[in-house]
Structure 1
Amino acid sequence: MSTWSTNDIPDQTGRTVVITGANSGLGAQAAKALGAAGATVILACRTVSKAEPVAAEIGPNASVAALDLADLSSVRAFAEGIDHLDVLINNAGVMAVPKSRTADGFEMQFGTNHLGHFALTGLLLPKITDRVVTVSSFAHAIGKIDLDDLNYDHRRYERWSAYGQSKLANLMFAFELARKLGRSGSAVSSMCAHPGYASTNLQSHTESFYDRFMKLSNLVAQSAADGALPELYAATSPEAASGAFYGPRGLGGLRGAPTLTKPLPKARNESVAQSLWVASEKLTGVTFDL
């Protein structure tokens, strides 16, 4: 795994992969790599026009479908339009944005990064044959799951702690899904990945002074193509294990080839994960057929 690259992706001919947020950054790079390996790739994006050039570059085995993770009606409409898939990559996300609400009234980062993907996965799960990959971040380290106020209805909003909560929720969801799938005897697996520090346009949409800092620090970040390697490994490698977490191996997990990595212990807290799951089902109205 220490030298794993897109050249090591197994032949994906005959397989269908859905990637959220595949119009740019990590998602676009993952889509291109999977398309080159023969997969049928569905680019699930909020703005279809932004994803169409990526699909055109991939070729006839790529298509674009509208999906706004900040609107549960859009999530349901997208899921209804999918008949079959082998792999779902929950890649899309927003980072450190000003306080705002999704169409359903959720805090934007928790609602988009976690609840949108939670609902999407639950609705698509009966149609998935192989695996679910959820993209988190080393920012889960600054996250705390506040079960009493998940949507910042009462506590003071702080954009980075809200982002950390959403990324910790991604991890806890992926691990809890792996446990539930395992207990049910399902052949589907669930794993998580993070890109380390990769240069993408995600870092330039915080609408704050951080945007300038992020653009400057991108000079030392690895490329989006390299940042996509952990999620590609999780999505394609026969060695990738359900319940595992993959990220870059170098510079403290910031860059390099993918490797098995350890989340902070709080991400493995099963009691909190179960409570988060119940809350997520209640908020989204989506239950999992397990």
Structure 2
Amino acid sequence: MIITGANSGLGAETAKALARHGAKVVLACRNTAKADDVAAAIGAAATVRELDLADLNSVRAFADTVEGADVLINNAGIMAVPLRRTAQGFESQMGTNHLGHFALTALLLPKITDRVVTLSSGMHLLGRINLGDLNWERRIYRRWQAYGDSKMANLMFGLELAKRLSDAGSDKKSFIAHPGIASTSLTGHTESIYGPLMKLTVLPIGQSSADGALPTLLAATTPDAPSGTFFGPKQLFGLRGAPVKSGYAPRAKDKAIREGLWRESERLTGIDFTV
């Protein structure tokens, strides 16, 4: 199994849990030093490989090293950071959270035998996909809106991938998951007052990274859920608790926006993603 961003937080907990149950895990990470520490804790079942989702050249280089895998877990992400650009000039949250994973999935799908799991967030509820300005080149940048947009893009991508796999008659599946509120290092990278505020006000009602990883683990291992299922915590309006099938914003079903996002993602990444 390939897990992006498995050097800390949800990704690390996902890798550890899967390895405990017999899986061989590839920790695909930008920070390979931290990933090495996680791999050392896991043991021989873990392999570390470099992957920077903010650089499509790195995505292609990583994909070239992969011979095959049962499951791809698109876990890595950044949250509410200041305006920055990826190596190819994408707004960093959309570029890392969605476009990098879109490109990675496109390149790896022929080598994946079972399923793709993509992490979204309850913050997808903020998301409004602006196909005319996906990369915040003409709008005044709002970090939380940009994060919500990227998480809506993750959800729409996972749903659209499930539809296209089904239409193609493929046995492969696409699932989406969100952790609710989990204590991870994401809040420490906002470079603003939001990080400390979240630690004081929001995180105390959340759950551990290990519990936050449970929806991802369910999505990665469930034998019978329909492709396209969105998993999240059961309690406190999806903020914590055991993983279950989760609801999502009705606009994620918008056929025109989902197909438009797919086409725009192909254009921006330069990858023809035909399922």
> Does TM-score exceed 0.5, indicating one fold?
yes
Q: Which residue identity does 2:94 align to in structure 1?
A: F
SS at match of 2:176: strand
| 1:218 CA displacement | 2.2
SS at match of 2:73: strand
Q: Which residue identity does 2:132 align to in structure 1?
A: D
SS at match of 2:47: strand
Residue number among 240, 243, 266 corresponding to 1:281 in the alignment: 266
Identity %: 61
Alignment partner, residue 14 of structure 2: 30
| Counterparts of residues 153-168 of structure 1 (less than 5 Å) | 153-168=137-152
SS at match of 1:167: helix
Residue number among 51, 54, 72 corresponding to 1:67 in the alignment: 51
Q: Distance in 1 between matches of 2:62 and 2:274?
A: 18
| Counterparts of residues 109-128 of structure 1 (less than 5 Å) | 109-128=93-112
Whether contact under 8 Å (1:125, 1:288) holds in the other structure is no
Q: Distance in 2 between matches of 1:61 and 1:199?
A: 26
| Counterparts of residues 204-283 of structure 1 (less than 5 Å) | 204-216=188-200, 217-283=202-268
Q: Distance in 1 between matches of 2:239 and 2:3?
A: 23
| 1:47 CA displacement | 1.2
SS at match of 1:26: helix
Q: Given the alignment of the two structures, is residue 39 of structure 1 paired with residue 23 of structure 2, yes or no?
A: yes
Residue number among 124, 129, 135 corresponding to 1:140 in the alignment: 124
Is 219-228 or 188-197 further displaced after alignment?
219-228
Moved segments of 4+, more than 2 Å: 217-220
Q: Distance in 2 between matches of 1:170 and 1:218?
A: 23
Gaps of 5+ in 2: none
| Counterparts of residues 76-87 of structure 1 (less than 5 Å) | 76-87=60-71
Alignment partner, residue 18 of structure 1: 2
Whether contact under 8 Å (1:204, 1:214) holds in the other structure is no
RMSD across aligned positions (CA): 0.7
Whether contact under 8 Å (1:97, 1:109) holds in the other structure is yes
Q: Distance in 1 between matches of 2:206 and 2:32?
A: 28
Q: Distance in 2 between matches of 1:240 and 1:131?
A: 12
Alignment partner, residue 108 of structure 1: 92
Whether contact under 8 Å (1:125, 1:289) holds in the other structure is no
Per the normalisation by structure 2, the TM-score is: 0.98
Q: Distance in 2 between matches of 1:50 and 1:137?
A: 24
Q: Which residue identity does 1:171 align to in structure 2?
A: L
Q: Distance in 2 between matches of 1:25 and 1:279?
A: 30
Per the normalisation by structure 1, the TM-score is: 0.93
Q: Which residue identity does 1:213 align to in structure 2?
A: L
Gaps of 5+ in 1: 1-16
Q: Which residue identity does 2:45 align to in structure 1?
A: N
Q: Distance in 1 between matches of 2:89 and 2:145?
A: 19
SS at match of 2:62: helix
**What's the CA shift string for 1:216-252, capped at 9, x where partnerless?**
2323320000000001000001133211100000011
Q: Which residue identity does 1:256 align to in structure 2?
A: G
| 1:86 CA displacement | 0.4
Q: Distance in 1 between matches of 2:225 and 2:209?
A: 21
Alignment partner, residue 134 of structure 2: 150
| 1:54 CA displacement | 0.5
SS at match of 1:42: strand
| 1:61 CA displacement | 1.0
**What's the CA shift string for 1:175-203, capped at 9, x where partnerless?**
00000000001111001000000000111
| 1:268 CA displacement | 1.1
